[in-house]
Structure 1
Amino acid sequence: MKVQIGDAELYWCLSECFRALQLLDKAFSTLQAGIRLYPTVGKLHFSLIVNLQRNGRTQEAILSADIASKLLPHDYTFKILNNLLVPTIYYQQEEIGFYRQRFINGLEALIEQTSLETPEEQQDALAGISRLTNFYLSYQAQNDRELQSKYGNLVHQIMVANYPQWVKPVLMPPFKEKNKIRIGYVSAYLHSYSGTLWLTGWLRYCDRQNFEVYCYYTGNNPDAITKTFQEYSDYFYHFPHNLEAACEQIIADHLHILIFPEIGMEPQTMQMASLRLAAVQCT
């Protein structure tokens, strides 16, 4: 880089190398250098903000999110980050109240800032919610139901604007010749992961005389546990990071019940949960 400036991708790749080597200051300074040269490349801003947040540098992350939202005012991703970013680590009890109020105010501001009138706005909002969740809000150990419900309604409105065909009521489908209840499980974590390992027991001891099991794996880290899920399923589908293909298959299977083992850890799961894909949906 002393010989040539390079392009934006070079700065991102180099920052990832530094991050893998745990040279975080070099990773962050590389991204900042790239942003000075390429101020409207969202990938550089996103990596800087998210990794600052994950490494406990909250104020720097908030400042970077504010800068990104001004440089890229139409990018919904940075509207979310600028309004809803919270710490991953709290050093004092008082910080929880401060950042919680910031989140409450930010959520109201985000809702007010959200416009879905044009196809461009609809697609931009969809792209934003496909990159982020409110996972770190739970680190405050408070009752988040009202806040998550309000954010969930916002996600629902964005999904309605983009997929109006998948929000209509679904009638309970009839039984097929085997008279079994068709039950589906959809998750990005149908692999070795603490958040869904417990589900293997549900599938293993499921009453096969009365239930037909469908699994929809939307992640892309298959391993031995993925094979276990497959063995315990009557039907197993793998749609890596493909929301539309997964939704189409679920609808085509005419499930009686659709279960989301986790909501909030992965953006696509939140998006799918805000649609109506089966007569009964639960988590």
Structure 2
Amino acid sequence: MEVYEKVLSIQPDFAITYNNLGNILSEQDKFDAAIESYQKAIKIQPDIDYIYCNLGTVLRNDNKIEAAVQAFEQAVKVTPNYALAKFGACISQLPVIYSNADEIAFRRNQYQQYLQNLAKYYELTNQEERAKASEAIGTFQPFYLTYQGLNDRDLQRTYGEMIFQIMSSRYPQDSQPLVLPNLDKNQKVRIGIVSGFLSSHSNWKIPIKGWVENIDRSEFELFGYYTGDTTDSSTISATKAFDKFVQGVRSIEQWCEAITKDKLHILIFPEFGMDSMTLKLGCLRLAPIQMTSWGHPETSGLPTIDYYLSSDLMEPENAQEHYTEKLVRLPNLSINYVPLAIQPEEIKKSDIGLKEDDIFFWCCQSLYKYLPNHDDVFPSIAKELGNSKFVFIKSESEEITERFRQRLNHAF
């Protein structure tokens, strides 16, 4: 930041420097300052497509939906075939948080229209443009669709088939069905797991760790493919848990080569929705049988994914209607989780702004996971209990935190 500010003191009309400064401010969750920096860059040089895209991204993260869409669409005006901006405008129809239940229906309808138009566009465009668009896959994903609490199967199918067509245009050699070979009597089943979160992340701690540490090694051979770049104590545990562990920055071509040469029978993607490389690889056919699970609780919509591993205790009778994959109801919670041995740290109520006689409810989820149609739960509890308070984790975005505060004020 110091260097960029020095540059601007020498050359105040350097648009790229304002853009780069905006990138740093955005990474620090200083959304207002980042927006201002991008806007200064655009004022100086209004014909650089990626600056509009960067502006759209930070506006989206700050839940300023209309402004974000406008920024992405401006990038497309500058460069009509700019795939990243097209995806940004579409995915930005899904806000981080909602003001009321009616807004969910409106935004969902908007997203559906944008998604259908985008899918139609890539269906009708030439193969060269589709192949080029593969670079944008995974940068913007419909992560927040899950938190509308509705059946997303048809929307995800449209999305999944679109990105599959884009990726198979670029990588046709890795998009063909693979035949499952017959196993010899003493041959082990070769299972691969692709994840960007083989580190101290909920995906490792909840589904993956218990699976790989407890599976019967006399019958199964395990291959780990870590697409992330964080190395910590959990990563070290993961390297020991797999028979073979591949880690490091690689291109899609390099990942495809690394995975296919291991001649897997089954490839598991524990989540789709968070890691861009995982999604790109999931659009391809790298093993005869491919599966996903609830590391992010949403059907993939991808025609390349055959099964969805879920929990029998979590799924209703009609659960298959929510999945494009064949649903597998693993017993109980579907995971093996060992609670961490933690030495408790004492925190007094006064340390977090509470009175000693307050009864407080610790609400430890991200704010976007609370649906507005359930906000009445909080005043209903408060009505029955004197001295009650609800303690939430504020968002990095003041806009999102304030939107949630307003919702609760309205509910109370």
> TM-score band (shorter)?
over 0.9
1:111 CA displacement? 1.4
Residue 139 (structure 1) aligns with: 147
Q: Aligned in 2, Cα 1:230/1:42: closer, same or farther, shift over 3 Å? A: farther
Q: Residue 214 of structure 1 contacts residue 236 of structure 1 at CA under 8 Å; is this kept in 2?
A: yes
Q: Is 1:261 aligned with 2:270?
A: yes
Q: Is 1:247 aligned with 2:256?
A: yes
Q: Residue 130 of structure 2 contacts residue 166 of structure 2 at CA under 8 Å; is this kept in 1?
A: yes
- SS of the residue corresponding to residue 32 of structure 2 reads helix
TM-score normalized with structure 1 length: 0.92
Q: Aligned in 2, Cα 1:4/1:177: closer, same or farther, shift over 3 Å? A: farther
CA distance in structure 2 between the partners assigned to 1:143 and 1:186 by the alignment: 26
1:20 CA displacement? 5.3
Q: Of 51, 55, 63, which aligns to 1:48? A: 55
Q: Residue 15 of structure 1 contacts residue 31 of structure 1 at CA under 8 Å; is this kept in 2?
A: yes
1:177 CA displacement? 9.3
Q: 1:59-86: CA deviations, max 9, x gaps?
A: 2212212222212211011111223312
Residue 235 (structure 1) aligns with: 244
CA distance in structure 2 between the partners assigned to 1:274 and 1:17 by the alignment: 31
CA distance in structure 2 between the partners assigned to 1:64 and 1:249 by the alignment: 38
Q: Which amino acid aligns with 1:157?
A: Q
Residue 159 (structure 2) aligns with: 151
Q: Aligned in 2, Cα 1:43/1:170: closer, same or farther, shift over 3 Å? A: same
Q: Which amino acid aligns with 2:133?
A: A
- SS of the residue corresponding to residue 30 of structure 1 reads helix
Q: Which moved more, 1:94-103 or 1:52-61?
A: 52-61
CA distance in structure 1 between the partners assigned to 2:10 and 2:121 by the alignment: 43
Alignment: residue pair count: 282
TM-score normalized with structure 2 length: 0.64
Q: Is 1:213 aligned with 2:213?
A: no
CA distance in structure 2 between the partners assigned to 1:24 and 1:36 by the alignment: 18
Q: Residue 254 of structure 1 contacts residue 278 of structure 1 at CA under 8 Å; is this kept in 2?
A: yes
Residue 24 (structure 1) aligns with: 31
Q: Of 74, 99, 110, which aligns to 2:107? A: 99
Q: Residue 131 of structure 2 contacts residue 167 of structure 2 at CA under 8 Å; is this kept in 1?
A: no
Q: Aligned in 2, Cα 1:237/1:8: closer, same or farther, shift over 3 Å? A: farther
1:138 CA displacement? 1.6
CA distance in structure 1 between the partners assigned to 2:258 and 2:226 by the alignment: 12
Q: Of 162, 171, 183, which aligns to 1:163? A: 171
Q: Aligned in 2, Cα 1:17/1:184: closer, same or farther, shift over 3 Å? A: closer
**Root-mean-square deviation over aligned CA pairs:** 2.0
Q: After superposition, where does 1:37-76 map in structure 2 within 5 Å? A: 37-76=44-83
CA distance in structure 2 between the partners assigned to 1:156 and 1:133 by the alignment: 14
Question: Larger Rg: 1 or 2?
Answer: 2
Q: Which amino acid aligns with 1:163?
A: Y
Q: Aligned in 2, Cα 1:21/1:271: closer, same or farther, shift over 3 Å? A: closer
Q: Residue 251 of structure 1 contacts residue 278 of structure 1 at CA under 8 Å; is this kept in 2?
A: yes
CA distance in structure 1 between the partners assigned to 2:148 and 2:118 by the alignment: 20
Q: Residue 31 of structure 1 contacts residue 48 of structure 1 at CA under 8 Å; is this kept in 2?
A: yes
Q: Which amino acid aligns with 2:63?
A: G
- SS of the residue corresponding to residue 190 of structure 2 reads strand
Q: Is 1:273 aligned with 2:282?
A: yes
Residue 200 (structure 1) aligns with: 209
CA distance in structure 2 between the partners assigned to 1:149 and 1:177 by the alignment: 38
